[in-house]
A = this chain, B = another copy of it.
Amino acid sequence: MSTPAEQSQALTPAAIRAAHELIKPYIHLTPLLTCATLDKIASTPQTAEALAGTPFEGQTPATPNFRFHFKCENLQRIGAFKARGAHHALLRLIEERGEEEVKKRGVITHSSEYTKLTSNTGNHAQALALAASTLNVPAYIVMPKISTPSKIAGTLSHGAEVVFSGSTSIEREAVVSEIQSKTNAILIPPYDDFNIICGQGTTALELEGQFTEKSKSKKSLDAVITPVGGGGLNAGVATYFSDKSTRVEMIVVGGWGEGKRVEKVSTLTIADGLRTPVGLLNWEVISDKRKVEGVFSVSEEQIKAAMRLVLERMKVVVEPSAVVGLAVCLFDEDFRRRVQEEGGEEGWDVGIVFSGGNTTVEAIGKLFS
């Protein structure tokens, strides 16, 4: 097997285009939405009071001009971009091993957010269950006993076989091995995988195409921002834009060393979908400054403020992880200053990936109670 560094050589825009051809019939072309109100709010300078107590205290507030283009993967099948990678990985597997073998052996996975399954996690597990059900392949999903009943029901509803385990990674791997030894099921990992990355990268291909169609100009997007958890989405998006002028920025929530991959994420965050160490292959892409320009992080309060704006003003339901990119545009003075200086009067067209919308009314209530 090749090393992550070798594999990353094959991560090219052409690989993303090929992935899109393959998965197109199985996924939604999610809408690219704009919101004049959010553009206006983000293009208004922050007040001196808002900057008090932040690292930007005392600075003159930046005066950026933003035009946002929201890629609504919260409206994707199963409510998250993960439907892309799961379908792509399974379709490639069938291509490589043949339908007969894959249908005989089946596929197996576990949730990437295994340590703390909450309402908005387990997206990969649900995505694979859906893909397997569509393509008539048996699927085994290993979930912790403590999973929420709605998540278990969601996975079962696609006809997958749910197998419970304890909640540590050791217990999980033991259960995965046990099922594999019985069934010979093939593991489809949640994010640290070439085909998963190519699948998630199709988000960028659609985003760019929809922007070009709407704007009717030859101008490119100035930047595209995605959250980073395991890193599959960001690595895919960065791969797609690697030969283009659009900058790719990523937003992390905890777990980002100074240029060094962090192996264990212990930060607690409401953006629980992002509470995952970056995968080895993903790291090869996203730590490459030619591919991903900036790394930003946001506070819990900023995530909540951005989420409130999206729900109340844009009337769209998103999970906390999905709004971290918007939060940076709203609150990070370093980023805002850059948009002011580089974008000037004309401003920047910024693509923001709303990565998912799997939350509940109770979870929303708890966040804002």
Contact = CB atoms under 8 A, between A and B. Distances in A.
Interface string A69-98: 000001100010000000000000000000
Contact of A315 (B75, B307, B312, B369): B75
B357 A368 contact: no
Contacts of A318: 315
B75 A359 contact: no
A317 B361 CA distance: 11
A179 to B, nearest CB: 29
Given A312-B317, A315-B316, A317-B317, A365 B357 contact: no
Contacts of A307: 361
A360 interface: yes
A315 B364 CA distance: 12
Contacts of A367: 361, 365
Interface in A120-147: none
B316 A360 contact: no
Contacts of A317: 311-312, 315-317
A21 interface: no
Contacts of A364: 311, 361, 364-365, 368
A109 B52 CA distance: 40
Interface in A315-330: 315-318
A74 B313 CA distance: 10
Nearest to A365: B365
A79 B36 CA distance: 13
Nearest to A358: B312
A316 B317 CA distance: 6
Interface in A49-79: 74-75, 79
A317 B317 CA distance: 6
12 contacts: A307-B361, A308-B360, A311-B317, A311-B364, A312-B317, A312-B359, A316-B317, A361-B364, A362-B369, A364-B368, A365-B366, A365-B367
Given A308-B360, A364-B368, 16 more contacts: A311-B361, A311-B364, A312-B317, A312-B359, A312-B360, A315-B316, A315-B317, A315-B318, A316-B316, A316-B317, A361-B364, A361-B365, A362-B368, A362-B369, A364-B365, A365-B366
